[in-house]
Amino acid sequence: MKHFWRSTIFKQRSRGAGICRLPAVRSWVLPVALFVFSFLAQLANAQESTLLWGQNETPFLKAPAAEGEIPAVPSLKLYPTQGSENHSAAAVIICPGGGYGGLAIDHEGHQPAQWFNEQGVSAFVLHYRLGSQGYHYPTQLADVQRAIRFVRANAEEYGLDPDRIAVMGFSAGGHLASMAATLYDREVYESQDEVDEVSARPNLAILCYPVISMDSEVTHGGSRKNLLGPEKVDDEALAASVSSEKNVTAETPPTFLFQTNADTSVPAENAVRFYLALRENGVQTELHSYQDGPHGVGLYRGDPVLGTWSGLLANWLRANSFFSPPQPQIPLQGVVTLDGEPVSWGVLTFYPENNRLPITSIRVRRGKFAAPEEVGPVVGKATLTFEGSIWEATGNLKDESVTLDSLSPQNPAPFKLELKAGMEPLKLDFLSE
């Protein structure tokens, strides 16, 4: 599909002067016109951006639910990787936190976008409308649905795979991302164009210390008030309808959750409730809860412990075929010996030659291993490593667990093999000395 909104992209000239293409002025109300001009001028002198609605008409009036107290135009800041050597064709829409009252666009927007660019992923930071501006539910859900649709509809323009689009959110932005993952088919605005005809369902969800529930026992009070609005903040039925743990189904996309136990602003019960709901519905999920760390840390890469969470995320994204389209897998079985003895306990790990494809580990027990197709290694060339022990079989104190990437010290070259359908059982004989 062609890019519908090329005329609304605002690029920065190399010397810093911005180019801004304004839509034709018809009969705008003066305050709205002044606001739009100011808004677009800011976009022109900053990160390349695009509007979500109203490309050819007044953006403020075109966006659904435009009755806020302060004119606000939802937009995306663009961090494309197309043309770069590491371009993976995957994309992520990032929702910064801020309690639905502000946007933490640096450490929960710009910095994560740059991190994703390092992984070869195009990032789109969502500037959604806020309760502090007079915009309340369902405005925010409309904005994130439109953002996902916009990226998917313009996948060809940005060189993206429409089946590898993730949504990410921090804190209240995590609640917004969780709504995107669970309420992607809830109709909260009328279709306006071809963009609104494509799916708003993300393929993966990444939720970082997220607000999940609007239950007063665990929610973040400011987020609830800003999202629902002062007139409906006590509406328990409405609060329950946007409590994301209540909206999980088997169709909710696989989800990564990151949290700290020490977080007192948004307690870990939010992430845990969502995790348990995902498990109950058979949705693939992974939860990492660190002991220490305050709320709102962002990447926090300077912390040697908490800063490891982004590496765990990268592993999870690779395992879920985000960096590369899914590839065929094969069933595999065989026997393993170490120094002539059956391996009591160990693991074989297959590293695909293409480092964007999932890594596969298969457990070895009593000298044998087996993996069905759904958890087997991907087809193609791979390097094999082994870690294991024969102590249980020998009882010899010298038989410690060893890690090997070759069959023997006499032939130290990494052990490589071609994985293909219909393979015979493998017979692997490792020597530690």
Concatenated DSSP letters of 79-107: E--TTSTT--S-EEEEE--STTT---TII
CA dihedral 379, 383, 384, 385 (to 10 degrees): -140
Q: What mean pLDDT is predicted for residues 246-258?
A: 98
- Helix, strand, or coil (residue 175): helix
Q: What mean pLDDT is predicted for residues 402-415?
A: 93
Is the pLDDT confidence value at 32 over 60? no
**The two three-digit tokens of residue 130, written as one number:** 């806020």
Q: Rounded CA gap, 163 and 410, in Å?
A: 46
Where do the domains of the chain lie, and which CATH numbers do they carry? Answer: 6-319 (3.40.50.1820), 332-430 (2.60.40)
User: What pLDDT does residue 423 have?
Assistant: 94
Residue partners of 15: CB distance under 8 A and separation at least 6 = none
Q: Taking the CB of residue 284, how many other CB atoms lie within 10 A of it?
A: 15
Pair 326, 418: CB distance under 8 Å: no
Q: Give the tens place of pLDDT for each residue, 323-378.
A: 999 999 999 999 999 999 999 999 999 999 999 999 999 999 999 999 999 999 99
Instruction: Look up tokens 């995790």; give the residue.
Output: 275
Confidence of residue 26 (pLDDT cuts 50, 70, 90): very low
Q: What mean pLDDT is predicted for residues 290-296?
A: 97
Per-residue DSSP letter, 281: T
SS3 of 6-59: HHHCECECCCCCECCCCCCCCCCCHHHHHHHHHHHHHHHCCCCEEECCCCCCCH
Is the pLDDT confidence value at 67 over 60? yes
**Candidate from 51-65, 125-139, 265-279 with smallest mean pLDDT:** 51-65
Whole-prediction pTM value? 0.89
CA dihedral 80, 85, 91, 95 (to 10 degrees): -60
Pair 90, 111: CB distance under 8 Å: no
How much is the mean pLDDT over the chain?
89
**The two three-digit tokens of residue 220, written as one number:** 């973040």
Q: Rounded CA gap, 137 and 125, in Å?
A: 20
Q: Rounded CA gap, 73 and 283, in Å?
A: 35
Is the pLDDT confidence value at 19 over 90? no
